[in-house]
Structures are given as C-alpha cells and as structure tokens.
Amino acid sequence: MPDNAVSFWDAINQNGSSPKLDGVKYSVLALGDKNYGDTFCLAGKKLDQRLAELGATRVVDRVDCDVEFDDLAKEWSKNAFTIFGASKPSDVSDTSDPSDEAWSKKNPFPAKLIANDTLNAPGSAKDTHHIAFSLTGSGLTYEVGDALGVFVQNCPEVVDAVIAAHGFDPSAKAGTKTLSEALLTDYEIRSLLGKTPESGLTLDSFLENLRKLQPRLYSIASSIKAHPDEVHLCVGAVRYTADGIAHKGVASTFLSDRLPLGDTTGIYFHAANHFRLPTDLTKPVIMVGPGTGIAPFRAFLEEREATKAPGKNWLFFGDQKRATDFLYHDQIIAWVQSGHLTRLDTAFSRDQEEKIYVQTRMLQAASELWQWLEEGAHFYVCGDAKRMAKDVDEALHKIIETQGNKTADEAAAYVAHMKKTKRYARDVY
C-alpha cells in the first residue's frame, strides 16, 4: 500500500475488529505498472477484494491502469461518480492534467539543458550527474519536494541492434516516422536485447507488442528561490552487464551521456503534496537521503536558507567512499560551517572494513534524534525502497522504543501518528 493508505488498510484488516461495511458503495481505480509482473495493481486488487469481504457493494467494476492511465481513469471516474450521485458532469472529478493548453505531461515544455556536471571524483564506482534545465519563457514553477517528468530517448546503438536482430528495414514507415525514429523516441525496447527474435514476425506485429516509451520522474534537487528559472536533478547513470549483455538505464544515460548541452527535451512538473516541508518554519527537520536520495534534501536546504527558516536541520547522507562519492560536498560543508545545517551525519560504507549505513548512524545518534522528534521534528526519507527505506524505518521504530521507553506496539502507534500528522514522509523508489 502507498504510505498514506497503510493505516486505512491496517484498520480494515484487524482480526475481530474490522468494520462491517454493509450498505457502503465503492469502486476501485487501481494504478500500477505491468513491468512489475504479478504485483501489477496488487494494492488496488487487494483493496477491492477486502471491501467486498466486509460487505460493501461494488457499484462499478475495478479498473486496472498501466502507466498510460488518463483515458481509463477518466472513464472510470465518469461511471463511478455518476452512480455515487454527482448531479451534473461538472461534478465529476477530472483526473487528467489541469489544462491541455498549459505545459503538462500531454504538452511538455521544451527545456534547454544548461548543466551536466559529474558529481563523483575520479576512481568512483559510480557515475552521478548534476543536471540543470532552463525554465526561461515557460512560466513554470514548482515546490521543493516535487518531481520533474523528463521525456527521454532510447540509445541509438540499442535501436540499431534491435532492428538488425529482427531483420527490419530501418527506413520502413512506422506511423509518420521511420522505424529508426519511432524506436528512438516512441517505444520501450530495453527489455528486448536478451531475447531471440521471433522468426517471421511482421513489423506491424512487432510494433503492436511494444509499450510506449514513458517519461521518467526524478526528485527535484533545487529550490526555485535559489535558482530562478532553473530546475536541477541528481541522476545516477545506470550501467550493468547481465548474461554477457551490456545494459544501460534508458533515462539516466540519455541525460548523462546523450543529451548535448544546449539541446532541449520535454519536461513537466509532477506535484508531490505528501512530501512537503513543514509550514511552521520553526519546526526541526531530519532528512535521510543516501546516494541520489540527497536530491530533495538539497532542495529542502536551499529553500530553508532562502526563506530564513529558523528551524534546525539534520542531514544523514551516505554513499560508498567519502573521497569520491560525497555528492554536493562543498555546498553541504558550507552549510555546516554557516550553521544552516545544524547536524550532518555521514555513512560511507566502504571506507572501513565494517559496512556503515545511514541507519547505523541513526542508531548511534538515537538519544538526540529522539529529542528532535519530541520537539516536533519532521522526518523525511528519500532513496531505495526495498532496502534502505525499510532499514531506516526499522531503525526509527527501534529508536522510539529504546529512547522513549515504549513497547513495539506503542512505537508503531507513535510512527503512525507521525504519518497521520504529516511528520513522516517518504520519497522512495
């Protein structure tokens, strides 16, 4: 379940105390990505099943949406809200972008790339880039915590390899474009390299089986108050070898390697209302963002500096090696020296024999971290969902248990209250 639905999901799954929902009408719009296989739309499917088990009446069948969801969502919305009692079409929620005329996902702004700087020092095992786009002339703005949608292109070498493997003519027509152009800009092809091409496959059949190439969302790494008419990203280039085949992240290598300075690509903003700084500028802020998870916290710190927020700021940052992987080192250290960054805890996992991670540093600072929480601190996490964010969450529970003299259940209730009051927010992927 999404973070903001966990408490609701838990409440309707308590043995012996789940609510009876006889007479309740419901319909579920499930969002997902078919790339995730068996877990596609699983949260929505589970919710649909559980509501029925509790006696609720399904008034419109569940709709499962892939990444291209606008049309399906609009149709579901029209059907569901009509039954729920909307009196006229204007009452029906519109899940599409606010205006097709404004810059949006359907009408992206052609933003010029104005910076592409390597953030790692020579000798690093990683390749992380500071990417900056110009917003000049767009009229666009954003809030720190938001994400930037970026339209990307496939690698030309991969396109050529796929065409050659299938024996197609690269100049053959694919709609209004040549096949080469269409595969470069319109279709997802990264998963085809390791497969043996089907014999006798026609071009039309081949194209029908491809998914649309989707824009990618990146956490914004800047405050527009600090960088007017600009938006910055922190992008880790993905490169790996599997089964003897070299693979490259489509979006990350497009931004780091293939988009020349001065060229443009389509962008749009995606609001992240769940991931916001406290409106009370006096509140302390604790940020946990290893690796490229530093992105929104660079933005947060720039914003807090620009607004002269008096609240304390604490950053946990980690990566492999201090000498080569301390992203935004000079800016962060300057904030420490000026006192803007009240406390900095770093965890460079490969600088010593024993692996040290951000959650290790949290536990070592448990007493002070608990004091900040009791002062009303907002707690933020950004980065890897499967390992880091899970380990950080476990460390947070443990700190609340040990420092607050609470049972596991009491600590869980404390964390749940933090989430409910929007003092615990995660931007994980």
pLDDT digits (tens, 9 = 90+) for 63-78: 999 988 889 999 999 9
> Residue 20, SS3?
coil
For residue 94, is pLDDT > 80? no
Q: Work out the angle at residue 393's Cα, subtended by the Cα atoms of residues 390 and 397, and round it to the nearest 5 degrees.
A: 140
Q: What is the predicted pLDDT for the residue at 92?
A: 44
As a whole number of angstroms, the distance between CA 165 and CA 34 comes to 25
Please give the average per-residue pLDDT across 321-336, as a whole number. 98
Please give the average per-residue pLDDT across 266-272, as a whole number. 97
Please give the average per-residue pLDDT across 335-353, as a whole number. 97
Q: Which of 13-17, 39-43, 58-62 has the lowest mean pLDDT?
A: 13-17
Q: What is the predicted pLDDT for the residue at 247?
A: 87
Please give the average per-residue pLDDT across 94-108, as a whole number. 68
As a whole number of angstroms, the distance between CA 203 and CA 160 comes to 15
As a whole number of angstroms, the distance between CA 56 and CA 22 comes to 5
Q: What percent of the chain has pLDDT over 90?
A: 82
| 354 Cβ contact list (under 8 Å, min separation 6) | none
The whole-chain average pLDDT of the chain stands at 92
Q: What is the predicted pLDDT for the residue at 363?
A: 98
Q: What is the predicted pLDDT for the residue at 191?
A: 54
The 10 Å CB-count burial string (b at 16+, else e) for 219-254 is bbbbbbebbeebbbbbbbbeeeeeeeeebbbbbbbb
Q: What is the predicted pLDDT for the residue at 159?
A: 95
Q: At what angle do helices 329-338 and 295-306 cross, to 10 degrees?
A: 40
R_g (Cα) of the chain, nearest Å: 24
- In a 13 Å sphere around the CA of 12, the CA atoms on its Cβ side amount to 18
DSSP assignment letter at 150: E
Residue owning tokens 């039954």: 83
> Residue 226, SS3?
coil
Domains in the chain (CATH in brackets) are 3-91 (3.40.50.360), 109-270 (2.40.30.10), 285-428 (3.40.50.80)
Please give the average per-residue pLDDT across 82-87, as a whole number. 74
Please give the average per-residue pLDDT across 257-267, as a whole number. 98
Residue 261: name the closest of 103, 119, 131 by CA: 131
Q: What is the predicted pLDDT for the residue at 93?
A: 43
Q: What is the predicted pLDDT for the residue at 196?
A: 60
